[in-house]
Amino acid sequence: MSTTPNFIGQSGEQTSFDSIVRQNLQTVSSSLTVDAANNAMSAGPVTVADGVTVEVADGATWTVV
């Protein structure tokens, strides 16, 4: 068991290998693309800000749970 605290960055990336809880922002504030080689998942609810686009390429999936 690790004695190092588990910190989760604002981008959702873990800063410790054994992190079990992930966090994400509730608002998408910059346009982004999920390309065909990737999938994406967010914990909802999620709001896309005015003027911002989320593009999900053919073959990719964005799931909000």
pTM above 0.85, yes or no: no
Q: What is the pLDDT of residue 64?
A: 96
3-state secondary structure 1-65: CCCCCCCECCCCCECCCCCCCCCCCCEECCCEEECCCCCEEECCCCEECCCCCEEECCCCCEEEC
Mean pLDDT by 10 residues, the chain (65 residues): 52 59 90 93 96 96 96
Q: What is the pLDDT of residue 6?
A: 52
Q: What is the pLDDT of residue 1?
A: 45
**Residue written as token pair 């346009």:** 31
Amino acid letter for position 60: A
- Sorted by sequence, the CB contacts under 8 Å of residue 3 that are 6+ apart come out as none
